[in-house]
Amino acid sequence: MSTETYRYILLLGSASSPVAEAGESRREQQLRRARDLLKQRGKVLARSGVVHADSVVPGDGDRYVNQALLFASSLPREAFGAWLKTLEQRLGRGEGEGACAIDIDLVGECDAQGRMLWENAGKLEHALFRELVGRVVRR
């Protein structure tokens, strides 16, 4: 097992049912569950606040909760990305139409000083996502 630590920037989002339970919406519960399960493969180093917003996709009427995380893991990017897809499925992400139970996007990798080493520019096109990422790492 590698002793090297990789630092990833993640964007989490959920449009699952907005019904509130114990002061926390199901959308917020999904983000919390995702954060808890992410800890199986590393450590949350920083996180933005949770933002409630309309979808950034034109024509999508769903509202989302979104959050950015700075996350440390010993898994290299390709293996970590594949594990994230498995985690999404475990949290209820399925194929087809309907509200998104969870979306966990790997949007960047940075060094220990927060300098970007790699980024998925397509995932950072929207100002909301750039703002969230800016709250957890310098860009």
pLDDT in tens, 48-99: 999 998 888 888 888 889 999 999 999 999 999 999 999 998 988 776 555 5
36 lies in which domain range?
A: 6-134
Number of domains comprising the chain: 1
- Distant-in-sequence, close-in-space partners of 85: CB < 8 Å, separation ≥ 6: none
CATH code at position 99:
3.30.70.560
pLDDT in tens, 12-56: 998 855 555 556 678 888 899 999 999 999 999 999 999 998 888
Instruction: Tell me the pTM.
Output: 0.88
| Residue 87: inside a domain | yes
The continuous run of DSSP H or E covering 31 comes out as helix 26-38
| Residue 86: inside a domain | yes
* Mutual angle of helices 26-38 and 77-90, in 10-degree steps: 140
Residue 113 corresponds to which tokens in the numbers above?
A: 């000083």
| Residue 1: inside a domain | no
